A and B are shown apart, each in its own frame.
Chain A
Amino acid sequence: MSLVNKFKSGWRTLLPTCREASRLQSDALEQPLSPARRFGLMFHLLVCKWCRRYGRQLRFLHTAAHEHREALTAQVPQKLDPAARERIKQRLQSGGN
């Protein structure tokens, strides 16, 4: 990497754009960011209300999904339909012998 590119990517780490900050806030839910990225994100959030809002909403949805698993598994169809149940039983009877 040339010196110019190194400088550019270092600059980007310390001063991320909103687009980059949105990715960082998602990644931060998966594992701790490197100190330089964390600093860059923190600085960005200090000055950007849009990204503060975005991060708040992202974490809200993240926690909501975890804590309300039952609400999210309540898809239709919820149950094996009777025909499928019979198919499986028949298969089991023939497969069991």
Chain B
Amino acid sequence: MPESRTDIALSDPERWVDEHGDYLFKYALMRLRDPAEAEDAVQETFLAALKGGKSFQGRSAEKSWLVGILKNKICDHFRKASRETSFTDLEFYADEESDRFAPDGLAKGGWVHELGPQEWENPGASLDNEVFWQTYRDCAGKLPKNVAAVFNLREVDGVESREICALLNISENNLWVMLHRARMALRRCLETNWFGKQK
């Protein structure tokens, strides 16, 4: 294949699928968490790219162009989803950590000591352990779908709060509550399934 192309060859769309398909799919799956929806988003991306009909000198420019289109498709998806269902997951908001704080008395709102955070020994050592990351992914996978989407966008991909609020059409306070709950649930899950078993 010649490196400098001035027009789009007919084989281009197929080459896109071969060269960028996996990357885009992974990108979409991370955010949408559903293989079928991710596949749709990737397909729509390629279709839009085909209509856009640009050509690039380098492969990396082509890739970021496609990722840009995919981002928009993902935005559309979230917009649609937030119109169809309330974005906040009420069950999750019932504060699943309630039992960990004293319900009344002098220590109201304080950690119930036996259930409070336990000491983690040398947590940094876990970062090189593939099993730790498997546990992390399993725990994140247990979050409600919408909360997981927020968590992945903010915590893993480092998308700015303001951008997420606009994307999902939620208030900043709402976003913070979701992040707080997600972090709390994740911490607890990792303590139970990983750090608590390391001793």
Give the interface of A toward B (CB within 8 A).
17-20, 22-23, 26-27, 29-31, 48, 50-51, 53-54, 57-58, 60-62, 64-66, 68-69, 71-75, 77-80, 84-85, 87-89, 91-93, 95-96
How far, in angstroms, from A60 to B118 measured CA to CA in the complex? 14
B47 engages A50 (CB within 8 Å): no
B156 with A69: CB separation less than 8 A? yes
**Residue from A53, A68, A77, A85 in contact with B117 in the complex, judged by beta carbons closer than 8 Å:** A53
Q: Do residues B176 and A54 form an inter-chain contact, with CB atoms below 8 A?
A: no
Q: Is the CB of A61 within 8 A of B13?
A: no
- What is the CB-to-nearest-CB distance from B160 to chain A, in angstroms, rounded to a whole number? 10
Asked if residues A89 and B111 are in contact (CB atoms below 8 Å), the reply is: no
With A53-B117, A66-B155 already in contact, the answer to whether A84 and B140 are too (CB < 8 A) is: no
B93: min CB distance to chain A, Å = 13
Chain B residues positioned under 8 Å from A73 (CB to CB) = 26, 30, 156
Contacting A18 at CB < 8 Å: which of B30, B109, B118, B161? B109
Which chain B residues border A80 with CB–CB below 8 Å? 17, 21-22, 25, 39, 42
Please name 7 pairs of A and B residues whose Cβ atoms are closer than 8 Å in the assembled complex, sorted by A. A18-B109, A18-B110, A53-B117, A65-B156, A69-B156, A72-B133, A78-B26
How many angstroms between the C-alpha atoms of A18 and B98 in the bound complex? 12
Contact segment of B64-72, B73-81, B82-90, B182-190: B182-190
Residues of A within 8 A of B155 (CB): 62, 65-66
A-B contact number at CB 8 A: 136
Q: Which of B144-199 contact A (CB under 8 A)?
A: 152, 155-158, 161, 176-177, 179-180, 183-184, 186-187, 190-191
When the two chains form their complex, are residues A88 and B179 in contact, meaning their CB atoms are under 8 A apart?
no
Separation of A56 and B63 alpha carbons in the complex (Å): 38
Are A89 and B17 within 8 A (Cβ)?
Answer: yes
Selected contact of A27 from candidates B101, B120, B176, CB within 8 Å: B176
**Chain B's nearest CB lies how many Å from the CB of A55?**
9
Beta-carbon contact of B187 and A58 below 8 Å: yes
Contact: A68 with B180, CB < 8 Å?
no
Report the nearest A residue to B14, measured CB to CB: A89
- Binary interface profile of B, 115-130, with partner A (CB < 8 Å = 1, else 0)? 0111110011001001
Contacting residues, chain B, for A62 (C-beta < 8 A): 155, 183
B116 A50 Cβ-Cβ under 8 A:
yes
The residue of chain B having its C-beta at the shortest distance from the C-beta of A62 within the complex is B155
Q: Which residues in window 1-53 of B have CB below 8 A to A?
A: 13-14, 17-18, 21-22, 25-26, 29-30, 35, 39, 42-43, 46-47, 50
